[in-house]
Amino acid sequence: MKPAMPALFALVLAVPAVATPPVPMTPTLEGVADSALRNDTYAWDFVEGITTEVGPRQAGTEAEARGRAWAMRWLKANGFANVADEPFQMETWVPGEARAEIVSPFPQPLAVLALGDTASTGPDGLTAEVVLFRTVDDLRAAPEGSLKGKIAYISHSMTRTQDGSQYGFAGPARWVGAGIAASKGAVATVIKSVGTDSERTPHTGGTDFPQGVAPTPAGALAIPDANNLERMFARAGGKPIMMKLTLTPRSLGMTTSGNVVGEIVGRDPSLPPVLVACHIDSWWNGTGAIDDGAGCGIVAAAAKNVAASGRPLRTIRVLMAGAEETGLWGSKAYSAAHINEPIAVGLESDFGADRIWQFQSNFRDRNPGLHNRIVKAVARFGVSGGTGVASGGADINIVRDQKSAIIDLRQDGTRYFDLHHTANDTLDKIDPVQLRQNVAVWTQVVGILANEPGEILPRQ
Amino acid sequence: MKPAMPALFALVLAVPAVATPPVPMTPTLEGVADSALRNDTYAWDFVEGITTEVGPRQAGTEAEARGRAWAMRWLKANGFANVADEPFQMETWVPGEARAEIVSPFPQPLAVLALGDTASTGPDGLTAEVVLFRTVDDLRAAPEGSLKGKIAYISHSMTRTQDGSQYGFAGPARWVGAGIAASKGAVATVIKSVGTDSERTPHTGGTDFPQGVAPTPAGALAIPDANNLERMFARAGGKPIMMKLTLTPRSLGMTTSGNVVGEIVGRDPSLPPVLVACHIDSWWNGTGAIDDGAGCGIVAAAAKNVAASGRPLRTIRVLMAGAEETGLWGSKAYSAAHINEPIAVGLESDFGADRIWQFQSNFRDRNPGLHNRIVKAVARFGVSGGTGVASGGADINIVRDQKSAIIDLRQDGTRYFDLHHTANDTLDKIDPVQLRQNVAVWTQVVGILANEPGEILPRQ
């Protein structure tokens, strides 16, 4: 049955066709953000491209240089202006081989990776008794000299948290454990990986030795292997657990790295820009998808989306920092080089590719109007306004150094420490649906900031 | 406030205490099965012990020998009789080093492992163009000689299935892919791992070369790496993808392996025994927890639990076969040695440690009474009766060779091919709650079989 045509519809059809083509409408900021939620392609294209065409990008190496060149090509091809690679010098460390095996009483190999900036055992490795410490505090309590000739093993537990706060809780095992053990005479340190997964892929990462303490070899066991080692202690009946550890990292001395920058130039380039940051390097073992290819894809996509809604008032500057993982070399170099060029507000994406759940700023009390406008604008994406004070992250030292305005777009980190600094940091771990929400929120927020005429005053 | 004592309770208290201790009651079969469901310790103890104290147990090696010795000690300590290691000779292959890297156009390493019984590239590796085949059928259709000097890459897809049926669908890429490619001139083959996970841990496994085709090097890429390679094909714009492959497996020639056996001796040892089987070896990369430490733990726990409900009528023989992974050497040797000693019924556990969801036999039509008794007895554990015909698995060749009765206790294989033949086959992957259900069902079924007086007649 054919329904009768409603009267109104008939009326519309009766309007004569306009002969001239319609003037293309510039989409609104809300429109481009909503569009990103449905169909982001830029962030995905960036992270797929750099993980596929470059892969691992260890700081200071030729692979990172290829990563920077790739990112510059991508930025230029996507309409960014003033694209550059700003070089800096850095101390470069490369991982070499990594093997651990229990020699007795229960011989078997354990999956291990070297920690950043640690020393080599030499190619023949070293064999020593393992001493178990359940916490860093237990290790701190060990008498001076008591670890002479021993391998310290630090176990600890880390629980998945949405806000990633357990990194601060469990991280010290890696950050300072080897240094403390070395100061008490240990010949090497192994830790349970700082992570929340149960895969045979150890989590590497940086470690620091105190002034005056010579670096020792140090590695992270995969979590199943660490748990196996703890079961060995329980089953050995007091027999010593002997481990052979072969880690052959080395220093390449000073090499050149660089910060990749690019801009969407604003209508008033005299106004301080909005800085959106990420880092281009990764550890050697994964392909740097969630850490931090996705972050670079997100900030670049947001800037490009904002431009699609009309040229913004302020310039949006993208900073893809080099050599973050091995000591924030790029972030520090960028701050040193540009400290006298004020940034209006800075924000970074360096915590994976899952959903944003909270917005917070460091200007809520002095710029409540702007803060609340952002809160309202991102509510439709399921993002709440937080009352904490944003502090930014590793890639925006300059903004902290300038005491400028900062925004944190807090991502869901529940899965992040399953993958962080592991071989499993690969493209397949990115959920495209969550990534699109992330890009949409970033687009909305960066668009508001880049069109804000007034000064943004951070908390004093 | 103190409540008044109820009258009944007061009456109970008034009964005088019995001076003689109660005679210990032998628990029923149902009781020991129910108890295993609540609190199995034997299966867990076995699999925890062998994965912790021995670890990987590559067939034919010293590590497998340590595994057999460990299993014998466990069986003796747990009251099994006639514990023995029945030796056989086998061709032993060991994996060596494995590295793959894309040389151009997108240089980066890919995670790879050698496949069993494949050849070495030599320590310097080989570099060749990669040719992509989406299916084994596509590879079969390639013209003769068309792969001369090339590396064949077989992609394929595998979906998680509860019954594991996609192993038959996707497995040929590994089982025959390298042989087909070699017969067409390929210098090497790499496949996407036959698995359902997304981890950087490749799945190894056996491969066969046809009569008259010399083995080539062949390896499996981890699934994220295989997907990355496929993206490279999509992004290379027709440029050749060049891979450097270094695989250095070697043959150790003939070495000694063995089958570990042990018995719960029945009241009438003249009756054919119930054979419960698993395999003691594992690939070198994991610790053989789900494949097949758990299976050995399950069958041994079931036999021990049955004994706790009273000495069974028939002997229960445990067979922990050696060298299953590299060609069912142990299962074949056991059959050859014992072919003239009839088995009443055989069943094996070699599909992980998750829940049993179906019971099926090959005697439903000829022994419906026994079949249906088992169906009823396992229903309380959530196990249904299947109408298919049980065919057993790799470890019970003898039962098929004798055309004896077979039972399949079908386990949930949804997660199995995430872990199968990977480094991730470790203890932490075993869910103790599911394992306990598995042991309870096995206890119930083995108990019924071991107390069955009549002949069990398989389908003809």
In tens digits, chain A (460 residues) has pLDDT values of 444 444 444 444 444 455 566 666 889 999 999 999 999 889 999 999 999 999 999 999 999 999 999 999 999 999 999 999 999 999 999 999 999 999 999 999 999 999 999 999 999 999 999 999 999 999 999 999 999 999 999 998 899 999 999 999 999 999 999 999 999 999 999 999 999 999 999 999 999 999 999 999 999 999 999 999 999 999 999 999 999 999 999 999 999 999 999 999 999 999 999 999 999 999 999 999 999 999 999 999 999 999 999 999 999 999 999 999 999 999 999 999 999 999 999 999 999 999 999 999 999 999 999 999 999 999 999 999 999 999 999 999 999 999 999 999 999 999 999 999 999 999 999 999 999 999 999 999 999 999 999 999 998 8
pLDDT on residue B9: 43
Question: B54-80: per-residue pLDDT in tens?
Answer: 999 999 999 999 999 999 999 999 999
CATH 3.40.630.10 residue ranges in chain B?
A: 29-93+253-450
Interface contact A426-B228, CB threshold 8 A: yes
Query: Would you tell me which CATH number, out of the four given (3.50.30.30, 3.90.1300.10, 3.30.420.10, 3.10.20.740), belongs to the domain B96-248?
Result: 3.50.30.30
**pTM, two decimal places:** 0.92
Determine contact: B428 vs chain A, CB below 8 A: yes
pLDDT on residue B3: 43
Among A48, A52, A110, the residue to mutate for chain B (most B Cβ within 10 A): A52
Interface contact A224-B63, CB threshold 8 A: no
Among B108, B241, B421, the residue to mutate for chain A (most A Cβ within 10 A): B108
Fold of A29-92+253-450: Aminopeptidase (3.40.630)
Interface contact A48-B224, CB threshold 8 A: no
Helices A294-308 + A42-53 axis angle, to 10: 140
Residues of chain B with Cβ-Cβ distance to A109 below 8 Å are 55-56
CATH 3.50.30.30 residue ranges in chain A?
A: 96-248
On whether the CB atoms of residues A61 and A94 are closer than 8 A, the answer is: yes
Interface contact B201-A198, CB threshold 8 A: no
Residues of chain B with Cβ-Cβ distance to A106 below 8 Å are 52-55
Interface contact A56-B109, CB threshold 8 A: yes
Distance from the Cα of B387 to chain A's closest Cα (Å) equals 38
- Burial of residue A42 (CB within 10 Å: 0-12, 13-18, 19+) is buried
Q: Is the pLDDT of residue B402 over 50?
A: yes
B292 upstream amide cis, omega within 30 of 0: yes
Residues of chain B with Cβ-Cβ distance to A426 below 8 Å are 198, 200, 224-225, 228
Determine contact: A201 vs chain B, CB below 8 A: yes
Q: Is the pLDDT of residue B107 over 50?
A: yes
Q: Can you read off the two tokens belonging to residue A128?
A: 């020593």
What would the mean pLDDT of B167-189 be, rounded to a whole number? Answer: 97
Least-confidence region, from A130-134, B7-11, B113-117: B7-11
Q: What is the mean pLDDT of chain A?
A: 95
**What backbone phi and psi angles, to 5 degrees, belong to A281?**
-80, 165
pLDDT on residue B459: 87
Question: B304-359: per-residue pLDDT in tens?
Answer: 999 999 999 999 999 999 999 999 999 999 999 999 999 999 999 999 999 999 99
Interface contact B106-A53, CB threshold 8 A: yes
pLDDT on residue A116: 97
pLDDT on residue A20: 65
Question: A369-379: per-residue pLDDT in tens?
Answer: 999 999 999 99
Beta bridge partners of A99: A246
CB atoms within 10 A of CB A171: 17
Residues of chain A with Cβ-Cβ distance to B235 below 8 Å are 49, 52-53
Q: Which of residues 101-120 of A touch B (CB under 8 A)?
A: 105-109, 111
Q: Measure the CA–CA gap between B219 and B188, rounded to whole angstroms.
A: 8
Q: Measure the CA–CA gap between B42 and B408, rounded to whole angstroms.
A: 22
Nearest CA in chain B to A234: B52
B29-93+253-450: CATH architecture: 3-Layer(aba) Sandwich (3.40)
Q: Measure the CA–CA gap between A61 and B194, rounded to whole angstroms.
A: 34
Determine contact: A96 vs chain B, CB below 8 A: no
pLDDT band at B23 (very low <50, low <70, confident <90, very high): low
Q: Measure the CA–CA gap between B275 and B236, rounded to whole angstroms.
A: 56
Interface contact A201-B200, CB threshold 8 A: yes
Beta bridge partners of B411: B356
Nearest CA-CA partner of A329 in A148, A22, A92, A105: A92
**What backbone phi and psi angles, to 5 degrees, belong to A53?**
-90, -15
pLDDT on residue A11: 43
On whether the CB atoms of residues B33 and B304 are closer than 8 A, the answer is: no
A384-388: list long-range contacts, CB under 8 Å, 24+ apart: A384/A357, A384/A358, A384/A359, A385/A358, A385/A359, A385/A360, A386/A358, A386/A359, A386/A360, A386/A410, A387/A360, A388/A360
Question: B421-450: per-residue pLDDT in tens?
Answer: 999 999 999 999 999 999 999 999 999 999
What would the mean pLDDT of B15-26 be, rounded to a whole number? Answer: 63
CATH 3.40.630.10 residue ranges in chain A?
A: 29-92+253-450
Interface contact A200-B198, CB threshold 8 A: no
pLDDT on residue A23: 67
pLDDT on residue A102: 98
